[in-house]
Amino acid sequence: MNESHFQDALADTKNLGEMTDADAVGTVGSPDCGDMVRLWVKYREQDGRKVIDKASFQSFGCQTAIAVASLATELIRGKTREEALQMSAEDLSKPLGPLPPMKIHCGQMVEGALRAALEAETAEPKTESPRAHPIGHTLADSLAAADKKAGKIKIVLNS
Ligand code: FES
């Protein structure tokens, strides 16, 4: 991982926050560390194609997850759903350079949230699942619900 690119990405975090007019949302939690990321996507028509107009995210995750999510929300703009689905965690974090082995799951969590959002656009989830949540619920809502269900959940901010 290129440390200066990483610090730049963190210092200039883009598209952080809930998107109230999103077309789709996806949420993923990492079983490796208990962190979570939620990603919103909004589409627009361009030359007869439906492309991603903008994306935003919320994260209760480490700095790597935040940096990758910020980059991902920029990299997918202007892409079709199919093009965005082709992007791997490696593609989404490429400007940072290769992630160290213990941080690979951070990028994979962002890829998972993106996939969940892109897939939620065509198939509205019928039941609450950890991979997709109704638009409008915040990450804090999900954590509160999970907290009630599981008894407790550990939240680590900016670890
Ligand atoms: Fe868990 Fe990075 S997302 S350590």
75 within 8 A of 30, measured Cβ to Cβ: no
> What type of residue is 32?
D
Spatial distance between the Cα atoms of 46 and 148, rounded to a whole number of angstroms: 43
List domains and CATH numbers for the chain: 3-150 (3.90.1010.10)
Instruction: Verify whether residue 33 is a known catalytic residue.
Output: yes
pLDDT single digits (tens) 83-119: 999 999 999 999 999 999 999 999 999 999 999 999 9
Spatial distance between the Cα atoms of 17 and 102, rounded to a whole number of angstroms: 26
Query: How many A from CA of 106 to the centre of ligand 1?
Result: 5
Counting from 1 in the atom list of ligand 1, the atom nearest the Cα of 63 is: 2
Output 10 or 132, whichever has higher pLDDT.
Answer: 10
Q: How confident is the model at residue 7 (pLDDT cuts 50, 70, 90)?
A: confident
Q: How confident is the model at residue 1 (pLDDT cuts 50, 70, 90)?
A: confident
Query: How many A from CA of 50 to the centre of ligand 1?
Result: 32
| Residue 110 CB less than 6 A away from ligand 1 | no
Instruction: Output phi, psi for 19, to 5 deg.
Output: -110, 110
pLDDT single digits (tens) 39-92: 999 999 999 999 999 999 999 889 999 999 999 999 999 999 999 999 999 999
70 within 8 A of 15, measured Cβ to Cβ: yes
Output 143 or 4, whichever has higher pLDDT.
Answer: 4
pLDDT single digits (tens) 117-128: 999 855 444 444
pLDDT for the residue numbered 41: 97
